[in-house]
């Protein structure tokens, strides 16, 4: 690809809300995940007689990637190229000098696309499926820990009590993504204690330290890095106290799996609780306390509306394939399979990641073929969940493939990046591209409904 030109119009309702930030995100995520030497983006937010419009998962990225990923397939089809191979030819990569001054530290998207192709048997099956069946692909890059204000970061306080129990105070909120579990795992790994010895208190504004907030795909990245800093400080105090008893220097000691030992001599170690007891009777301040603060290494988001720069400290990359079945008589769409390869860096909790991947794919399906807000004179016509359609368990694909991409990010805690939000971004275009592969008509506006398919087939002269 040589160039791309985007013109974006956003309906933000009757109030500004967070629409401005959504537009900034939209512009910067339009630049990923492909190499585009010449890029132009122009955005206009329009005030309308409707309720306020705000951010949805992906925060402006799903809309721009639906357009761009649909266009990628249109170009490939016009040039008689395989859409997946066309994407492979144009990917950013780790170390790429992005013209928008976004620094790419890690990128496993090439491996992700190849694994999606292998999982779906793309080359063997695409173009050889039964009538009405199709395969499609979509890709995305997403921010990981954006800097929304000048004091954007995460804070952690760790306390080891006299009973060797570990208390974590964390300002980040767990809204169901498993943040408490991940932060506890990070502390257990770095401190060397057992998970069952950890208690975490989060989002209690009376006692927990500052955190930027649960948005921007940054809790694991920000709070996780802060947790490592806090755990190392706490561990240092513990190891300095027990080193004389173990006839070693603190630098020679390791803490792992509930034990403290001299490096290379794990069999001679002592229990974590015994190490805490030695600390107590050494007359040291009790409890053992360490704190950590991680400041996001990126430009402030709203400033990037006027200049180039690092929008996020790092970026996650996602490849997603969809298999669909379309009934030409009724226009009904059935998503049969979704395969997701998520470059989320080193997975800290694979089960959490798999849940996030499945949940985000469901949200992307909703955007792609279900969710709509018809309105008249500023009034929505489906303002309750009785009328507003979202995917149910009966609508979900029979097969959901969560594919591991082995990649470690140099800036993430233990190499981790965001997992989940970015997965929603390529789902709608992957489904749209699969529908085109199935029946040869392209729907350019969402959601893709049976009525739209029937009308498109009729206008083409096909069966409806």
Enumerate the active-site residues. 421
Q: Which H or E run includes 285?
A: none
CA dihedral 120, 124, 125, 130 (to 10 degrees): -150
Q: Which two tokens stand for residue 403?
A: 């594919």
d(CA 94, CA 104): 5
Helix then strand count (H, E) for the chain reads 12, 15
Per the listing, tokens 């105090």 go with: 237
- 3-state secondary structure (DSSP) of residue 279: helix
Q: Which H or E run includes 158?
A: strand 153-160
DSSP conformation class of 446 = S
Q: Which two tokens stand for residue 72?
A: 């990628």
- 3-state secondary structure (DSSP) of residue 35: coil
CA dihedral 217, 221, 227, 229 (to 10 degrees): -150
Percentages helix, strand, coil for the chain, rounded to the nearest 5?
A: 35, 25, 40
DSSP assignment string, 377-410 = TTEES--STTTS----TTTS-SEEEEEE-----S
- Cβ atoms of 179 and 220 within 8 Å: the answer is yes
For strand 198-202 and strand 166-170, is the pairing parallel, antiparallel, or unpaired?
parallel
d(CA 362, CA 77): 27
d(CA 316, CA 463): 41
Question: What are the residues whose beta carbons fall under 8 Å from the beta carbon of 78, sequence distance 6 or more?
Answer: none
Question: What are the residues whose beta carbons fall under 8 Å from the beta carbon of 401, sequence distance 6 or more?
Answer: 119, 337, 338, 339, 340
């Amino acid at each position: 690809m040589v160039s791309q030109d985007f013109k974006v119009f956003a309906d933000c309702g009757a109030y500004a809300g967070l629409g401005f930030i959504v537009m900034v995100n939209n512009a910067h995520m339009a630049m990923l995940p492909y190499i585009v030497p010449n890029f132009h983006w122009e955005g206009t937010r329009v005030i309308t007689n409707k309720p306020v419009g705000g951010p949805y998962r992906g925060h402006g990225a799903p809309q721009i990637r639906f357009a761009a990923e649909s266009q990628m397939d249109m170009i490939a089809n016009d040039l008689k190229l395989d859409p997946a191979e066309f994407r492979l030819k144009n990917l950013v990569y780790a170390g790429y000098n992005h013209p928008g001054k976004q620094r790419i530290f890690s990128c496993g998207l090439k491996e992700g696309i190849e694994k999606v192709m292998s999982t779906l048997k793309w080359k063997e099956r695409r173009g050889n499926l039964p009538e009405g069946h199709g395969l499609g692909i979509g890709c995305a890059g997403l921010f990981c820990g954006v800097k929304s204000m000048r004091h954007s970061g995460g804070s952690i306080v760790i306390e080891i009590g006299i009973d060797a129990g570990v208390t974590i105070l964390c300002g980040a909120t767990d809204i169901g993504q498993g943040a408490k579990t991940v932060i506890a795992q990070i502390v257990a790994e770095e401190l060397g204690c057992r998970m069952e010895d950890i208690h975490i208190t989060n989002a209690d504004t009376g006692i927990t330290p500052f955190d930027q907030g649960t948005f921007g795909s940054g809790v694991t990245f920000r709070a996780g890095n802060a947790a490592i800093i806090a755990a190392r400080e706490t561990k240092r105090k513990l190891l300095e106290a027990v080193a004389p008893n173990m006839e070693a220097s603190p630098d020679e000691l390791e803490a792992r799996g509930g034990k403290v030992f001299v490096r290379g001599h794990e069999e001679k170690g002592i229990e974590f609780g015994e190490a805490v007891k030695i600390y107590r009777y050494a007359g040291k301040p009790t409890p053992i306390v360490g704190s950590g603060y991680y400041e996001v290494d990126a430009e402030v988001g709203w400033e990037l509306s006027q200049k180039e720069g690092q929008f996020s400290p790092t970026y996650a990359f996602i490849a997603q394939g969809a298999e669909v079945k379309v009934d030409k008589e009724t226009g009904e769409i059935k998503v049969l399979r979704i395969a997701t390869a998520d470059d989320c860096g080193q997975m800290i909790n694979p089960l959490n990641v798999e849940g996030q991947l499945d949940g985000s794919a469901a949200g992307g399906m909703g955007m792609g073929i279900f969710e709509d807000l018809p309105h008249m004179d500023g009034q929505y016509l489906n303002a309750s969940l009785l009328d507003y359609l979202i995917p149910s368990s009966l609508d979900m694909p029979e097969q959901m493939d969560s594919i591991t991409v082995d990649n470690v990010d140099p800036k993430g805690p233990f190499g981790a990046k965001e997992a989940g939000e970015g997965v929603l971004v390529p789902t709608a275009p992957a489904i749209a591209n699969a529908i085109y592969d199935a029946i040869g008509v392209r729907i350019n506006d969402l959601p893709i409904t049976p009525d739209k398919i029937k009308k498109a087939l009729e206008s083409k002269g096909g069966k409806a």
